[in-house]
């Protein structure tokens, strides 16, 4: 130690070296016995604080950046975390300096994560004076605290259309340097204590299926550490570029595929600031099985070795790192990481057609898509796939795509349930909600009453004719209107012969039961001569009055203003017309002319019916997407019912 003491004869020289090396351990050693590595370690504890897995691969980790170790190499990688991750590492550098690394990552939101970590190196020192006498003991330590965040670039609104899974991340760092003790040359080691801040950014880019590129900028924005003596020391900045090549791995993700084996080739290059030399890092990682790894690499000119073992969600890593060929500088590093249970293989069903919440008219629908197999950590194959649509097996192509025409047997709400399963027991499903509306050949696109006709027909309030038409412009008879109202109310017909309520409606008349029930429920009225005149075409005034009574609308006792230009206040139906207008039943009327004596067309009757509380409730329920959808397990072809209305 005499040569070492000779080096530290001047107090200013000693203080300068103390600030540069940032460890009191180095203060009491000769620069001949402690190589340039000491400066790198003490200048930034992150030089070693990368985890034993990365150290075993020559510190080539910028393009790898997995699990919580990514905090210390490339914070973009923490966005991959699918669950909580924790890692710890400990080593005794040169059998004297205790070195501890702890990091944790927690996922949040959509493919994003937050992280925190700490790197600490400290040592107790036996201090001596220049004459060799004891000066007691001292202590020196460096600490870096991390707060990190990572996400996928397409999570950001400005890049939402990006189809590449590019990851970005950043870390805010707080540096702390503390010491105690002194000798006859350095009165107080704590004078070199200080604090500082740093900022890191990172990026991961999947260039190809087997090549990932990484970029990390460390200690950007001219980071400095300010000592208690008000002196400033630069915290070295560095720009790191890295690459990870999957030589052997899962099919479609590697140059050569294998079910369980993995081989990765990694390389980093550090462009260091502050006149420090640039550094190359090369590493290999081989997983002969899913839970055991062998590693090797070069950290600059220093060879490294390592092994890893994964058991029950834990990973144990060991790294052996030599420095400049000096045996006493060879150091072993141990780390334990919590990875959670390994990711299970899973299936994902992607349905291309139909779209969710689709409106259809046909009695069949084309269902097409693809099943994606997401490999698990064990790499085991899923085996043959089975796809069912509403319980019916359909063919699956070699690329796991499927396509089939599925019957839709009736109108209304329909659920298309696509289920995928494998022989290994994996299962996934995807749903599509559809509404099939009735479709009449004589109600074309753009027809003014197309929507109410389709809606009321779909919920079962009206029906078309056996030939598939609706005849919307056909005048409505009184018998047909009575039938319409009874069906709309869902009233039950008597299981006996109809009673003769009106003298012109015989019990065997086709609508006799409907007329009887409609009269009993107060939906219709006859004429003073006790006739109903069932085959008479109903006019608008009569139809409106019936609809108002059907909907139980409030009717004024007197009308003071004409509801329409051609409806006088003393018209027998003026009160009913006013009530219907106020309820929104007559919005289809144009130019404020009702023409109350004109025959009521079927389309007009349906338009008014759709505005009633009963029909409106059923139509609203039809378009409520959150409930009422059930799969049709047994396909059946639709049938057309013959009906007057």
Cα separation, 199 vs 235, whole angstroms? 11
Would the pLDDT of 387 be above 90? yes
Same domain (yes/no): 305, 413? no
Q: Domain with 364 in it: what CATH number?
A: 2.60.40.10
- Among 140, 150, 142, smallest CA distance to 171 is for 150
Q: Give the DSSP letter of residue 342.
A: P
Q: Any idea which of 370-384, 545-559, 569-583 has the lowest mean pLDDT?
A: 370-384
Cα separation, 638 vs 580, whole angstroms? 37
Same domain (yes/no): 389, 513? no
Which pLDDT belongs to residue 381? 64
Same domain (yes/no): 271, 170? yes
Same domain (yes/no): 181, 240? yes
Q: Read off the pLDDT of residues 600-643 as tens digits, 9 standing for 90 and up.
A: 999 999 999 999 999 999 999 999 999 999 876 644 443 333 34
**Total count of domains within the chain:** 3
Domain assignment present for 257: yes
CA terminus-to-terminus distance, the chain: 111
Q: Read off the pLDDT of residues 97-128 as tens digits, 9 standing for 90 and up.
A: 777 899 999 998 878 999 999 998 887 777 77
Tokens 């051609």 — which residue? 566
Which pLDDT belongs to residue 635? 47
Same domain (yes/no): 364, 464? no
Cα separation, 198 vs 492, whole angstroms? 80
- Among 481, 456, 441, 388, smallest CA distance to 616 is for 456
Which pLDDT belongs to residue 7? 29
Same domain (yes/no): 419, 489? no
* The two three-digit tokens of residue 351, written as one number: 């349905």
* The two three-digit tokens of residue 502, written as one number: 């009106």
Domain assignment present for 37: no
Q: Domain with 243 in it: what CATH number?
A: 2.40.160.60
Domain assignment present for 630: no
Q: In sequence order, what are the residues at sequence separation of 6 or more whose Cβ sits closer than 8 angstroms to the Cβ of residue 109?
A: 151, 155
Same domain (yes/no): 467, 358? no
Provide the percentage of residues in the chain whose pLDDT is more than 90: 55
Which pLDDT belongs to residue 186? 64
Q: Read off the pLDDT of residues 422-434 as tens digits, 9 standing for 90 and up.
A: 888 889 999 999 9
* Residue after which a domain boundary falls, among 436, 463, 486: 436
C-alpha 586: how far from its chain's center?
A: 47
Same domain (yes/no): 201, 282? yes
- Per DSSP, the three-state class of 44 is coil
Q: 631 has which bridge partners?
A: 415
Torsion of CA 74, 78, 80, 82, to 10 degrees: 160
Which pLDDT belongs to residue 152? 94
Mean of the pLDDT values across residues 386-415?
92
Same domain (yes/no): 395, 420? yes
Domain assignment present for 7: no
Same domain (yes/no): 234, 305? yes
Cα separation, 392 vs 409, whole angstroms? 15
Which pLDDT belongs to residue 231? 66
Domain assignment present for 573: yes
Which pLDDT belongs to residue 278? 92
Q: Read off the pLDDT of residues 341-371 as tens digits, 9 standing for 90 and up.
A: 666 778 899 999 999 999 999 999 999 999 9
Domain assignment present for 34: no
Domain assignment present for 499: yes
Q: Give the DSSP letter of residue 475.
A: B
- The band of 15, judged by pLDDT with boundaries at 50, 70 and 90, is very low
Cα separation, 118 vs 102, whole angstroms? 5
Helices (H) and strands (E) in the chain, counts: 13, 25
Q: Name the average pLDDT for the chain.
A: 84
Same domain (yes/no): 332, 352? no
* The two three-digit tokens of residue 354, written as one number: 């139909």
Which pLDDT belongs to residue 592? 92
* Residue after which a domain boundary falls, among 284, 307, 338: 338
Q: How far is CA 415 from CA 123, 170, 235, 419, 481, in A?
A: 68, 45, 62, 12, 34
Domain assignment present for 32: no
- The band of 41, judged by pLDDT with boundaries at 50, 70 and 90, is very low
Cα separation, 166 vs 171, whole angstroms? 17
- Per DSSP, the three-state class of 483 is helix
* Residue after which a domain boundary falls, among 414, 436, 458: 436
Q: Any idea which of 67-71, 140-144, 362-366 has the lowest mean pLDDT?
A: 140-144
Q: Which domain holds residue 218?
A: 45-338
Same domain (yes/no): 319, 374? no
């Amino acid at each position: 130690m005499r040569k070492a003491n000779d080096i530290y004869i001047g107090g200013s020289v000693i203080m300068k070296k103390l600030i540069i090396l940032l460890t009191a351990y180095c203060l009491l050693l000769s620069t001949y016995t402690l190589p340039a590595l000491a400066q790198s370690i003490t200048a930034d504890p992150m030089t070693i604080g990368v985890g034993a897995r990365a150290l075993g691969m020559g510190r080539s980790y910028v393009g790898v950046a997995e699990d919580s170790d990514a905090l210390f190499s490339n914070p973009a990688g923490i966005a991959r975390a699918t669950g909580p991750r924790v890692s710890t590492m400990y080593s005794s550098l040169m059998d004297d300096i205790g070195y501890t690394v702890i990091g944790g990552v927690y996922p949040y939101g959509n493919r994003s994560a937050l992280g925190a970590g700490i790197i600490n190196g400290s040592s107790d020192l036996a201090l001596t004076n220049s004459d060799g006498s004891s000066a007691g003991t001292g202590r020196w330590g460096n600490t870096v605290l991390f707060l990190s965040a990572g996400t996928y670039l397409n999570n950001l609104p400005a890049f939402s259309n990006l189809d590449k899974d590019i990851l970005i991340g950043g870390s805010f760092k707080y540096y702390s340097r503390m010491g105690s003790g002194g000798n006859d040359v350095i009165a107080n080691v704590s004078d070199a204590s200080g604090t500082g801040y740093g900022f890191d950014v990172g990026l991961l880019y999947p260039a190809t299926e087997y090549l990932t590129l990484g970029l990390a900028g460390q200690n950007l924005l001219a980071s400095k550490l300010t000592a208690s003596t008000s002196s400033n020391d630069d915290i070295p900045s560095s720009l790191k570029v890295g690459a990870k090549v999957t030589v052997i791995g899962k099919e479609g993700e590697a140059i050569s595929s294998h079910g369980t084996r993995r081989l990765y080739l990694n390389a980093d290059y550090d462009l260091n600031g502050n006149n420090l030399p640039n550094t190359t890092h090369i590493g290999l990682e081989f997983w002969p099985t899913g839970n055991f790894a062998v590693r090797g690499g070069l950290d600059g000119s220093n060879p490294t070795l390592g092994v890893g073992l994964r058991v029950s969600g834990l990973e144990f890593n060991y790294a052996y790192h030599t420095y400049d060929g000096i045996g006493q500088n060879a150091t072993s590093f141990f780390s334990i990481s919590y990875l959670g249970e390994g990711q299970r293989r899973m299936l994902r069903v992607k349905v291309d057609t139909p779209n969710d919440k689709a409106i259809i008219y046909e009695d069949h629908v084309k269902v097409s898509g693809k099943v994606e197999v997401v490999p698990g950590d064990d790499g085991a194959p899923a085996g043959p796939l089975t796809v069912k649509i509403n319980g019916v097996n359909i063919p699956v192509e070699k690329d796991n795509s499927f396509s089939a025409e599925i019957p839709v047997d009736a109108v209304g709400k329909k659920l298309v349930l696509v289920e995928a399963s494998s022989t290994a027991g994996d299962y996934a499903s995807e749903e599509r909600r559809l509404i099939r509306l009735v479709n009449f050949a004589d109600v074309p696109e753009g027809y003014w009453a197309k929507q109410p006709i389709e809606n009321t027909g779909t919920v079962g309030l009206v029906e078309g004719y056996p030939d598939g038409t609706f005849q919307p412009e056909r005048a409505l008879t009184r018998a047909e209107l009575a039938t319409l109202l009874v069906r709309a109310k869902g009233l039950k017909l008597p299981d006996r012969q109809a009673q003769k309520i009106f003298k012109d409606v015989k019990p065997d008349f086709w609508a006799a039961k409907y007329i009887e029930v409609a009269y009993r429920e107060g939906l219709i009225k006859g004429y003073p001569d006790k006739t109903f005149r069932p085959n008479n075409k109903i006019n608008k005034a009569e139809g409106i009055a019936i609809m108002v009574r059907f909907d139980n609308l409030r009717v004024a006792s007197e009308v003071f203003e004409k509801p329409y230009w051609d409806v006088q206040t003393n018209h027998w139906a003026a009160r009913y017309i006013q009530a219907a207008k106020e309820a929104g039943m007559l919005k289809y009327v144009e130019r404020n002319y009702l023409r109350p004596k004109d025959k009521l067309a079927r389309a007009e009757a349906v338009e008014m019916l759709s505005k009633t509380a009963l029909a409106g409730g059923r139509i609203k329920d039809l378009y409520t997407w959150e409930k009422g959808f059930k799969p049709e397990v047994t396909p059946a072809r639709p049938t057309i019912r013959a009906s007057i209305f």
